[in-house]
Amino acid sequence: MALYCRVSTSDQDNDRQERDLRAYAERAGFEVVAVFRETLSGIRKAKGKHPVERKRAMAMAQAREVDAVLVTELTRWGRSTQDLMDTLGQLASWDVSLIAQTGLTFDLSTPQGKLIANLMASLAEFEHDLLRERVRSGIAAAKARGQTFGRKQGYRPSDRYAPEVMQLSETEKLSQREIAKRLGISKTTVNEILKRESRTAGTRPNGAGAGSGRADGGGS
């Protein structure tokens, strides 16, 4: 048997899934010969990413090196109803079963297996769509109340350096490179701050050029 664990974000980890699956396999008397761990969103296509570890598990199944794959739940294996049915069909053609931690075996070679797999996949997809719709509705309601989302307009993380950058540029007449070194930030950030402050003031920043010195010949 192979274990397949998948979490959706890097903030999560597969340790708990693997621990639970190993405990289940031990209770059921299964021998675990491989463990596949993946961090990948279940959303379709997930920005072009593919379940590489699941592909490895499928290759092992095709080679008949395992006769079953154990997952915590169906949604950890299939990323959509169609994806689930396609991969379950492939496993069935190799006489390999997909087993959920609940004890359900999804074997498409039987009418019961097809029915259960279809029902559970459809319910999982329906629940995902409902959650997405609730999020959209919540955001729309909050916007209607005047609440804003995301970064405040005009604010950037680099803004906290703006006063020091302007002082070093205008008072001490340091070049962009020297300012960057003094504050421990990139020259690009310094340039952006100077340009931004210049637009606000209605003038161009001194030393906005690509060189390390200022356009007025200043610098130390």
Which CATH number characterizes residue 157's domain?
A: 1.10.10
10, 83: one domain: yes
In a domain, 68, yes or no: yes
43, 96: one domain: yes
pLDDT of residue 210: 40
pLDDT exceeds cutoff 80 at 99: yes
7, 105: one domain: yes
Of 83, 109, 135, which residue constitutes the final position of a domain?
109
74, 12: one domain: yes
pLDDT in tens, 162-202: 888 888 888 888 899 999 888 888 888 888 888 888 877 66
**What sign does the CA torsion over 154, 157, 160, 165 have?**
negative
Measured CA to CA, the distance from residue 37 to residue 107 in angstroms comes to: 23
CA angle at 29 for the pair 83 and 104, rounded to the nearest 5°: 35
The CATH number that applies at residue 93 is 3.40.50.1390
Cβ atoms of 106 and 117 within 8 Å: the answer is: yes
Measured CA to CA, the distance from residue 71 to residue 100 in angstroms comes to: 5
In a domain, 211, yes or no: yes
- Among 8, 41, 80, 198, the active-site one is 8
Q: Which positions ≥6 away from 39 have C-beta within 8 Å?
A: 6, 7, 8, 9, 10, 12, 14
User: How many domains in the chain?
Assistant: 2
85, 171: one domain: no
Of 109, 138, 168, which residue constitutes the final position of a domain?
109
pLDDT in tens, 81-97: 778 778 888 988 898 98
In a domain, 143, yes or no: no
In a domain, 92, yes or no: yes
In a domain, 191, yes or no: yes
Find where tokens 């072009």 sit: 48
pLDDT: which is higher, 60 or 76: 60
pLDDT: which is higher, 13 or 204: 13
pLDDT band at 150 (very low <50, low <70, confident <90, very high): low
Domain that includes residue 205, residue range: 153-220
Active site residue 8: yes
Q: How much helix, strand and coil, in percent to the nearest 5, is found in the chain?
A: 55, 10, 35
Cβ atoms of 38 and 52 within 8 Å: the answer is: yes
Give, for 52, the enclosing helix (H) or strand (E).
helix 52-62
Percent of the chain residues past pLDDT 90, beyond the cut: 19
* Closest of 174, 63, 180, 74 to residue 127, by C-alpha: 74
In a domain, 219, yes or no: yes
Q: Which positions ≥6 away from 114 have C-beta within 8 Å?
A: 108
Cβ atoms of 117 and 88 within 8 Å: the answer is: yes
Of 79, 109, 139, which residue constitutes the final position of a domain?
109
The number of beta carbons lying within 10 Å of the beta carbon of residue 130 is 10
34, 101: one domain: yes
pLDDT exceeds cutoff 60 at 151: no
In a domain, 131, yes or no: no
105, 158: one domain: no
In a domain, 120, yes or no: no
68, 164: one domain: no
pLDDT band at 216 (very low <50, low <70, confident <90, very high): very low
